[in-house]
Amino acid sequence: MTPDEKAKAKLEKLESKVDSAKKKLALERQKQQKADRKIETRKKILLGSYYLAEFKKDPELEKKVLAKMETFLTRDHDRAVFDLPPLPKEGGQ
């Protein structure tokens, strides 16, 4: 093997290691993002459970939160979950 061939082989081997490291890094990032989403979802569930329990004790709190939800929820199927009317369609239709 000539020195030039050795150098090319070494470069190919290093490029292969770099590609492998990039793939591992991407996989680890995906795993972390999935774990983060899982934690966020769990927080939402727990927070929702808390408020649902509090609503039974304090109907005024429920009214206040639903008033906030009136402006927060923009999709009709989400609004329906809270018995809120659909938003008017743009263009007055």
pLDDT of 72 strictly over 80: yes
Residue-wise pLDDT for 14-42, tens only, equals 999 999 999 999 999 999 999 999 999 99
Is the entire prediction scored with pTM above 0.85? no
The secondary structure of the chain, three-state, reads CCHHHHHHHHHHHHHHHHHHHHHHHHHHHHHHHHHHHHHHHHHHHHHHHHHHHHHHHCHHHHHHHHHHHHHHCCCHHHHHHCCCCCCCCHHHC
Highest mean pLDDT among 2-6, 70-74, 88-92: 70-74
pLDDT of 93 strictly over 70: no
